[in-house]
Structure 1
Amino acid sequence: MNAVASCAVPNRHPLRHVVLGGITAGTLDLIYICSLYAFKGVGPIRIFQSIAAGWLGREAAVAGGMATALLGLISHFGITLAMAYAYYAASRRWTLLVERPLRYGALYGLLLYAVMTYVVVPLSAAGGPQPPAWQWINLAHIAAHMVLVGIVCALAARRALRGKRGRG
């Protein structure tokens, strides 16, 4: 099917693509971060607990065992679902976001990295008054957010909006 014909096919359940995009972005992000920290001897449970620390603080998250690991895992996917939906909602207004998903998805991933690192985490129960000091590993984190989260959200929004263009 060519590109013109695929745009004309109505998309009856657009949010399923957004949900799938959020789950995919969340899964890819976790695979990235768990793989990276495995080399430092940090297991996935501790990573999930560090996500829960945003709600509970670091000490309480670690002390909570599997329950707080599950809270962190659920929270992570809640956040990535919200990220995917936010891009989808913006794309409904500004169609350029889905017309160029690689460019704007990468920029969205960069924005998400900055917001999470310099706003959300410092304001959470896990954060302190200052963002973490810059390290070269941050470039890998930025690239991961751009490719694994931002572009995935953009492609999901593009798929969700397939057949919606030109309908006012």
Structure 2
Amino acid sequence: MQKYTGPVRKKGILRAVLLSGLLVGTLDITAACIQAGIGGIGPERVLRYVASGVFGEMAFSGTVAYVFFGLLFHYFIAMCWTVLFFILYRRLHLWKYNRMMTGVAYGIFVGLLMNFIVVPLSNVPRGPVGILSAVIAVAILIVAIGLPLSFRAYSFYSGLQKGKGG
């Protein structure tokens, strides 16, 4: 694909970002619930954990509203990562690179920022993190966020280049 330099219509980019954010948010929370389920933890507890980033321990003993807040916060975070990717994709000309490698790199990037900046600044309860669980978490981010965003952004911008999208 050649360098895209044309206009991006707001309606087209908003739709692409919204659908991509919903996709990666759904993939990520599904993977997190499956991973937690293997360990005997239900989806409600996963969403309460997400809500605890804002509400702390109260999220675990409070009403079911915290489950909904957890879901809302989860999709908000997924949407933020999606917006950032679409911005970086265009500004850094990421279409020049292999989509698989771009997706893997972005998944690792998200994992590093979540684990070393976002989570430590939140109110989530912290416990020991094993190397295996950290590798699994980053693998989930690669598969559920990095790769889908890389392919979705490529599809969106290549469609614009061919005169289809936007």
TM-score range normalised by the length of the shorter chain: 0.7 to 0.9
Is 2:67 the counterpart of 1:74? no
1:165 Cα shift? Answer: 4.7
RMSD: 2.6
Q: Distance in 2 between matches of 1:97 and 1:140?
A: 27
Q: Which of 133, 156, 161 does residue 152 from structure 2 map onto?
A: 156
Q: Distance in 2 between matches of 1:95 and 1:68?
A: 40
Pairwise mapping of residues 38-77 of structure 1 onto structure 2 (< 5 A)? 38-57=37-56, 59-77=57-75
TM-score when scaled to structure 1?
Answer: 0.82
**In the alignment, which residue of structure 2 is the partner of 1:138?**
134
Q: After superposition, what is the alpha-carbon deviation per residue over 1:110-154, rounded to whole angstroms, capped at 9, x for unaligned? A: 0101110111111111155xx843331222211111121111122
Q: Distance in 2 between matches of 1:75 and 1:120?
A: 13
Q: Distance in 1 between matches of 2:145 and 2:29?
A: 11
Matched length: 157
Q: After superposition, what is the alpha-carbon deviation per residue over 1:45-85, rounded to whole angstroms, capped at 9, x for unaligned? A: 1100100000011x211122310110010110011111011
Aligned partner of 1:74: which letter? L
TM-score when scaled to structure 2?
Answer: 0.83
Q: Distance in 1 between matches of 2:65 and 2:82?
A: 26
Over the matched positions of the two proteins, sequence identity in percent amounts to 28
Aligned partner of 2:80: which letter? A
CA distance change for structure 1 residues 38 and 160 in 2, over 3 Å: closer, same or farther?
same
Contact 2:24 2:149 in 1 (8 A): yes
Is 2:28 the counterpart of 1:32? no
CA distance change for structure 1 residues 98 and 66 in 2, over 3 Å: closer, same or farther?
farther
Q: Which of 85, 101, 122 does residue 87 from structure 1 map onto?
A: 85
Aligned partner of 2:140: which letter? A
Unaligned runs of 5+ in 2: 3-7
Deviating runs (4+, > 6 A) in structure 1? Answer: none
Unaligned runs of 5+ in 1: 5-9
Contact 1:16 1:160 in 2 (8 A): no
